A and B are shown apart, each in its own frame.
Chain A
Amino acid sequence: MNPAAVYIIAICAAGLGVAGAAFVWAALKGEFSDAGEAAFLVFDEDDPPAGPEQGA
């Protein structure tokens, strides 16, 4: 096997492992169970949705 393939596949596999671990962690923390709640995190109490670029 070409050494380049070994390097790249190994690094990608490690990355896949990191992504997989993060995914499992997120699932166990309930990130996907009530995800709609997170959609409102962009809004602040003094940041009314009355018009574009109003508020902080």
Chain B
Amino acid sequence: MSAAPAYLDSPPPDVAVAERVAADQSTRRPALLFFHSAVAWLVIGSVLGLVASLKFQFPDWLTGEAALTFGRIRTVHLNAVAYGWAGMSLVGLAVWMVPRLVRAPLYRPGLAVAAAWGWNLWLVLGLGAVLAGWNDGLEWLEIPYPIDAIVVVAGGLMAISVLGTVARRKTKHFYVSVWYVLAAMVWFPIIFATANLPVFGGVEQAAVNWWYGHNALGLFITPLALAGAYYFIPKVLGRPIQSYSLSLVGFWALAFFYSLNGIHHLIGGPLPAWLITTSITASVMMVIPVAATAVNFHTTMVGRFSALRYSPTLRFVVAGSMIYTAVSLQGSVEALRGFNRIVHFTHYTVGHAHLGVYGFASLILFGCLYFIIPRLVDWEWPSDRLIRWHFWLALGGVAIYVVALCTGGWLQGEAMLDAGRPFMDSVSLTRPYLIARSVGGTLMLAANVIFAWHYWLVVRRRGTERMEPAWSAPGALA
């Protein structure tokens, strides 16, 4: 890179500080806009998720209006949390993190701000359309494709801003988090635009639908969440990642093999067997990047686990990273034909999805926000207690939710496969597990509301001014 200054990755201290300050100043407005929006969508999506869950206990509740029926409420829940909360907060994370890592101000921050407004407009119009009964009828792609054009433009503006920043980098190397962000910025537009093309029909539509649905998680949410974990675990511990080379192995293994995942959702469907087998193979091969990441995070943490007692960022990010390992291995097993035969079409899949998006990605995001927000608003989180409640309610809620649905889903699958049992057995036996689902969902909603309230307090600079970061004292966490 001919434009790079001579010092490359080791600038003089005063230059490094000036570059970091400039990077932070350039990202403040767009990052805050993405985060404010994400937290609002988190609350909206969580409320709708609990409403949808409660309908399993009270099926006649809120049935007077078509917009409030299960099919629409549940759909809006999924889109609000996947694209509104996770999507916007992950993009905000990328906007904040990349300029720091490449030591260059964000390129044209106005484009990122416009992207955030566009993303919100897409969601408001799209989810309004879904509530009104207009949707594409495809899971994860329900928002009508003419409205999707808005997010394509917004995503393009976002990509110009981030890629332009990277093009003006003052570092010789890309840190692994930058690799993940760049990849997500390239992959997501490809899969989103392809899956929304109105040219597919029938079986091919189903194949493209699930190829997209799985890769929205694997090629967008996963890389951006891992980018956050690779940044904040070393950052908070004050020591570099144990094996940087291994982190690159994990990234490139994901880059080369993940995109073939997804078709295993259609095991048993009318598709060529080799196509499904290819996807199953790719899913099992994901053990390689997952193991590389898990080993790297764990060995970086060895000897430093006591830090979890006084760092909210580390506590959330490490918990999310451990769940990443668990949910990824669960996914690889779930793709195997023998296992899939039982859990397909059951609540098990719903449990798995929540373990991924909430247990893995959301916990990491919460941890990232506990670090970033005080630096953006120059005000520390006012309450240790609210952070503790947030953590335990979130972790306890998702644990109850996932254990209940995976157990109930397995029993449901066995009942459906037993030709000697009436179908209604497979429905009625899930009742206690669906109650547990609502209990877990209530705890997660409580955690999210507490976090949103605390977020409101810190961005409004409310509460007593603190000179120390929340939980900075060893042993502050009971």
A residues contacting B by CB (< 8 A) are: 1-5, 7-8, 11-12, 14-16, 18-20, 22-23, 26, 30-32, 35-54, 56
- Are the C-beta atoms of A38 and B208 separated by less than 8 Å? no
Chain B residues with Cβ below 8 Å from A47 are 20, 235
Q: Total A-B residue pairs with C-beta atoms closer than 8 Å?
A: 142
A29–B120 Cα gap in the complex (Å)? 38
- Are the C-beta atoms of A53 and B256 separated by less than 8 Å? no
Among A11, A16, A41, A50, the residue within 8 A (CB) of B175 is: A41
* Residue in chain B with minimal CB distance to A53: B469
Among B9, B275, B313, B314, the residue within 8 A (CB) of A37 is: B9
CB distance from B316 to the nearest CB of A (A): 12
- Are the C-beta atoms of A35 and B17 separated by less than 8 Å? no
State the interface size on chain B (CB cutoff 8 A). 61
A31–B244 Cα gap in the complex (Å)? 11
- Are the C-beta atoms of A52 and B240 separated by less than 8 Å? no
* Residue in chain A with minimal CB distance to B8: A37
A44–B10 Cα gap in the complex (Å)? 10
| A–B pairs, 5, beta carbons within 8 Å | A2-B272, A7-B207, A47-B235, A52-B307, A52-B311
Chain B residues with Cβ below 8 Å from A2 are 203-204, 207, 271-272, 275
Contact A11:B194 (CB < 8 A) given known A38-B9, A39-B234, A54-B472:
yes
Question: 19 other contacts beyond A8-B211, A12-B259, with CB at 8 A cut-off?
Answer: A1-B272, A2-B207, A4-B204, A8-B263, A14-B190, A15-B259, A20-B256, A22-B183, A31-B173, A35-B245, A39-B175, A39-B234, A41-B9, A42-B240, A43-B240, A46-B20, A52-B310, A53-B371, A54-B469
CB distance from A32 to the nearest CB of B (A): 7
CB distance from B76 to the nearest CB of A (A): 28
Q: Which of B55-110 contact A (CB under 8 A)?
A: 100-101
Among A12, A38, A45, A53, the residue within 8 A (CB) of B16 is: A45
- Are the C-beta atoms of B469 and A52 separated by less than 8 Å? yes
B386 contacts A by Cβ under 8 Å = no
B238 contacts A by Cβ under 8 Å = yes
Among A22, A41, A52, the residue within 8 A (CB) of B313 is: A52
CB distance from B307 to the nearest CB of A (A): 5
- Are the C-beta atoms of B208 and A39 separated by less than 8 Å? no
- Are the C-beta atoms of A8 and B311 separated by less than 8 Å? no
A14–B175 Cα gap in the complex (Å)? 25
B13 contacts A by Cβ under 8 Å = yes
B385 contacts A by Cβ under 8 Å = no
A26–B175 Cα gap in the complex (Å)? 12
